[in-house]
Amino acid sequence: MNLIAAVDKNWGIGMDNRLLVRIPEDMKSFQKMTTGKVVVVGRKTLETFPGGQPLKNRTNIVLTQNREFQVKGAQVVHSMEELLEELKQYDSQDIYIVGGESVYRQMVDLCDVAHITKIDYEYAADAWFPNLDEREEWELTADSEEQTYFDLEYYFLKYEKKVKEAE
């Protein structure tokens, strides 16, 4: 499974239930990577999408504890067990965890690849992505040339979970 996120210098991802910044190239990259795939999203993050609606041309799975919550065009699950059962029908490589913070935290150890847009700026944030640089099991395997959006510098990074050696 894949994680995908845009993070600042401190791995911040959001403030007041909004993205820290919208970078058009990052949005295009996200769209290209996830179109035709399965996206797993928390309810609060879903509510930040245009019109609070599921993403088009993707299989949307919403994880929420709210048993009353329903949304047209998405599968709603209420627990990790239910989510993992639902995901069994899809190819693991086609699954993208797209946020928010609690969904990332619950899923990070189950994923193999993380596509991170790292923004070289420190924002005020109240939601964070797990810091993969501090996790031994993750390694940076690819990074892009420096990108710029006005005066912001950012990089497209790829982290992969290290394969454990058989003893």
Q: Do the beta carbons of residue 146 and residue 118 sit within 8 Å?
A: no
Q: Which of 56, 63, 7 is nearest to 40 (CA)?
A: 63
Lowest mean pLDDT among 45-49, 87-91, 119-123: 45-49
Q: Which pLDDT belongs to residue 90?
A: 98
- Region 26-52: mean pLDDT is 96
Domains in the chain, start-ordered, CATH in brackets?
2-161 (3.40.430.10)
Strand positions, DSSP E, the chain: 2-7, 12-15, 18-19, 38-42, 59-63, 74-77, 95-99, 113-119, 127-128, 138-143, 147-149, 152-161
Q: Which pLDDT belongs to residue 19?
A: 94
Angle subtended at Cα 59 by Cα 32 and Cα 140, rounded to the nearest 5 degrees: 50
**Concatenated DSSP letters for 103-115?**
HHHHHGGG-SEEE
Tell whether the model's pLDDT for residue 32 goes beyond 80: yes
Q: Which pLDDT belongs to residue 164?
A: 72
